[in-house]
Amino acid sequence: MIKYILRRLVSMIVVLLVTIVVISTLMYFVPGDPALIMLGQSATKEAVAELHEKYHMDDPYLVKVGKYIGNLLHGDMGISFKSKTPVWDELMARFPVTLRITIGSTVIGLIIGVVTGIISAVKQYSVLDRILTAISLFGASAPSFWIAMMLVLLFSVQLGWLPATGSYSWKHWILPLFTLGLQCSAGIMRMTRSSMLEVIRQDYVRTARAKGQSEPKVIVNHALRNALIPILTTTGIKMCGYIGGSVLVETVFALPGIGKYILDSVSYQDYNVVQGGTVLICICCVIITFVVDMLYALVDPRIKGTYGSSRRVKKVKAKAAVEG
Amino acid sequence: MSIFRKKNAKKGPMAEVWRKLKKNKWAMVSLFIIIFLILVALFAPLLCPYDYALQDYEHVLEVPSWAHPFGTDNFGRDIFSRVIFGSRYTVLIGFGCITVSAVVGIALGLIAGYYKKLDGLIMRSIDIVIGMPAMTLLMCLIAVMGISLRNMCIALCITHIPSFARVTRAQVLTLKNQEFIEASVALGANKKRIMLKHILPNALAPNIIEYSLGAGGVVLWSASLSFIGMGVQSPTPEWGLLISEGRQYLRTAPHMAIIPGLTIILLTFVLNYLGDGLRDAMDPRLNK
């Protein structure tokens, strides 16, 4: 198991480094002078030169990228051109909002998605299955900002039950979380249904039934457990998508998250923030992927087995070869 | 020889898929709706009852009526005409971008699968694109290139290349070790001929699923980008932008946002449904 974790950890760091280099390279080629953005177009040449000197803006490419990675290790992402405060502090002030949206909506999506997916698979080709499948396809086809606006229209404008924008109390979070949660559940439901259908006719499920185990236990312990890997993968991908893509919901509900901050920074040409925000999102995604990989091993002992002691790996491989 | 052939054998794998797809009633309905929407986009100027930019301050924020089937917006412009004309942007961006992505992706997948030396380089570059969340990558690329319709399309193409490249590469890897490839090598065919004449036609089928699902994805992303102001700019009647314009009038004239949203959903829904239908038609486990 330790070998498995170490291997994943090393590949995670490599992926992260390459991604940071790619993002830094992209940002290096952005046209326009950041000093002019900070000082305004009427700035004197001396002031511009001074700023270039102060923030090392004229460094060559390799030095710039190297310094960026070095500083990143200390939690230094440079300063925002607009507010002249450290990017890291600004991002950390907004990070909890994005994190709350991501985790909350994923939990809602998982609960609704897995339950409806199981129902749909167990009752395949029934009316209920068809209705659920159609709703989930609708959810996967609707733009999240449109769902958000429709929920606002229904629950805030028409019924007046929930506030439309802001983040002052728990009530403000219900609509944003359910917007993404419902959309997330559509994807998870489809994946749960198809992967449950794969395992539900397997011999070991039939054996479990033949042993006289109750139907809920057969579904949860024998079928669902074996169908869990694709569901986990989808959930991981969805979570990464929401860390980066919650900007749409943040825009509709006026929530001060990272996505909205990056979006505003693009229009101010505040590229240190765009770069920092993107790097932070990528770090989160790599961590999510790592956690999902760890969960694979937890859910499916066969995966853990292939990364065990070298003798055991040989045994597993030999067995696999025999089985063809 | 012909007596040993099965009835459908010479028609190839695509004819088989088409035969199965035809049995799926709703997938065929989806296909017809897609063709209908493409035709609407192509003949938009002929179908619009009003000029899509014509402002009429005597009929502002009107609810749907016979004169204006989808109502009017805050400038008194006819939303029906704007939606029809907007289909030019949304539908054509959707199909245009996904076609470019498909061509580039399939070419990259073909090269990566066939030439082992280039495989690592191409697939690792593609892993970087996949590793970043789509929205972040799109925003990052548009931030670097500048906000415009053209740059949005380039960014959308880049984000959709990986799925085609991966699918094609996987196909090529299984195909290139098969006997008919060996046979054509033995007959002296050069690499270009083997790749284009023998491998490519056999590797295309799964890409059609990606194409259908990907087109739906591009439509959603382009609407989303236009909604947050990183894509098509006002006063162009792109569907995502129409929703964005309707946002300020959600309380007084909700139809401004509801109707363009429903048209986006119709388009992505039928594309996704067709993609699912194609997947079922190509799934050998469902062969019955």
Secondary structure of chain A as H, E, C letters? CHHHHHHHHHHHHHHHHHHHHHHHHHHHCCCCCHHHHHHCCCCCHHHHHHHHHHCCCCCCHHHHHHHHHHHHCCCCCCECCCCCCEHHHHHHHHHHHHHHHHHHHHHHHHHHHHHHHHHHHHCCCCHHHHHHHHHHHHHHHCCHHHHHHHHHHHHHHHCCCCCCCCCCCHHHHHHHHHHHHHHHHHHHHHHHHHHHHHHHCCHHHHHHHHCCCCHHHHHHHHHHHHHHHHHHHHHHHHHHHHHHHCHHHHHHCCCCCHHHHHHHHHHCCCHHHHHHHHHHHHHHHHHHHHHHHHHHHHHCHHHHHHCCCHHHHHHHHHHHHHHC
List, for residues A90-141, the tens digit of each pLDDT value: 999 999 999 999 999 999 999 999 999 999 998 888 899 999 988 998 888 9
A254 Cβ neighbours under 8 A, 6+ residues apart: A165, A166
Entry field: residues in chain A: 324
Cβ–Cβ below 8 Å for A282 and B131: yes
| Distance from C-alpha of B237 to C-alpha of A200, rounded to nearest angstrom | 48
Q: Select the residue of A23, A30, A140 nearest B272 (Cβ to Cβ).
A: A140
* Residue in the block written with tokens 């087109």: B215
Q: How many CB pairs under 8 A join A and B?
A: 125
CATH 1.10.3720.10 for domain B24-45+71-282: yes
A86 φ/ψ angles, rounded to the nearest 5 degrees: -60, 135
Q: What is the pLDDT of residue A309?
A: 55
Q: What is the pLDDT of residue A315?
A: 66
Q: What is the pLDDT of residue B161?
A: 94
Cβ–Cβ below 8 Å for A286 and B131: yes
Percentage of residues of chain A with pLDDT beyond 70:
94
List, for residues A28-44, the tens digit of each pLDDT value: 887 777 777 777 777 78
- More confident site: A179 or A201: A179
CA-closest candidate to residue B85, choices B237, B231, B194: B237
Q: Are A146 and B256 in contact (CB under 8 A)?
A: no
| Distance from C-alpha of B17 to C-alpha of B95, rounded to nearest angstrom | 22
Cβ–Cβ below 8 Å for A244 and B243: no
| pLDDT surpassing 50 at residue B13 | yes
| pLDDT surpassing 50 at residue A208 | yes
Q: Tell me what the mean pLDDT of segment A150-166 comes to.
A: 86
Q: What is the pLDDT of residue B1?
A: 44
Q: Tell me what the mean pLDDT of segment B71-88 comes to.
A: 86
| pLDDT surpassing 50 at residue B288 | no
Instruction: Kindly state the DSSP code that residue B2 receives in the 8-state scheme.
Output: G
Q: Which of A13, A195, A260, A266 to mutate to test the interface with B (most CBs of B within 10 A)?
A: A266
Q: What is the pLDDT of residue B286?
A: 62
The encoded tokens of residue B234 equal 């006002």
Residue A218 in contact with partner chain B when CB distance is under 8 A: no
User: What is the assigned CATH class of domain A87-323?
Assistant: mainly alpha
| Distance from C-alpha of B115 to C-alpha of B21, rounded to nearest angstrom | 34
Radius of gyration of chain B, Cα coordinates, nearest whole angstrom: 23
Q: Select the residue of A23, A152, A281 nearest B133 (Cβ to Cβ).
A: A281
Nearest chain A alpha carbon to B134 = A241
Q: Return the half-sphere exposure (C-beta side, CA atoms, 13 A cut-off) of residue B161.
A: 22
List, for residues A230-288, the tens digit of each pLDDT value: 898 889 988 988 888 889 999 888 889 899 999 988 888 888 899 999 999 999 998 99
Domain ranges, ordered by start, for chain A: 2-72, 87-323
Q: Which of A158-172, A276-290, B145-159 has the lowest mean pLDDT?
A: A158-172
| pLDDT surpassing 70 at residue B38 | yes
Q: What is the pLDDT of residue A98?
A: 92
- Using a CB-CB cut-off of 8 Å, the residues of chain B touching A22 are 128
Q: Which of A1-15, A277-291, B273-287 has the lowest mean pLDDT?
A: B273-287
Band of pLDDT at residue A312, cut at 50, 70 and 90:
low
Residue A263 in contact with partner chain B when CB distance is under 8 A: yes
Percentage of residues of chain A with pLDDT beyond 90:
23
| pLDDT surpassing 90 at residue A74 | no
Cβ–Cβ below 8 Å for B261 and A243: no
Q: Cis omega before residue B235 (within 30°)?
A: yes
The encoded tokens of residue B103 equal 């061509």
State the nearest Cα–Cα gap between A191 and chain B, in angstroms.
12
| pLDDT surpassing 60 at residue A217 | yes
Quickly count: other Cβ atoms within 10 Å of residue A88's Cβ: 19
Domain ranges, ordered by start, for chain B: 24-45+71-282
List, for residues B172-214, the tens digit of each pLDDT value: 988 888 888 889 989 988 888 888 888 888 888 888 888 988 9
Q: What is the pLDDT of residue A313?
A: 60
**∠ CA(A228), CA(A233), CA(A235), 5° rounding?**
90
Confidence check on the interface: ipTM exceeds 0.95, yes or no: no
Torsion angle defined by CA atoms of residues B156, B148, A261 and A80, in that order, rounded to the nearest 10 degrees? 120
Band of pLDDT at residue A164, cut at 50, 70 and 90:
confident
Residue A152 in contact with partner chain B when CB distance is under 8 A: yes
Q: Select the residue of A30, A146, A244 nearest B144 (Cβ to Cβ).
A: A30
Cβ–Cβ below 8 Å for A266 and B230: yes
- Using a CB-CB cut-off of 8 Å, the residues of chain A touching B261 are 142-143, 146, 149-150
CA-closest candidate to residue B213, choices B202, B223, B221: B221
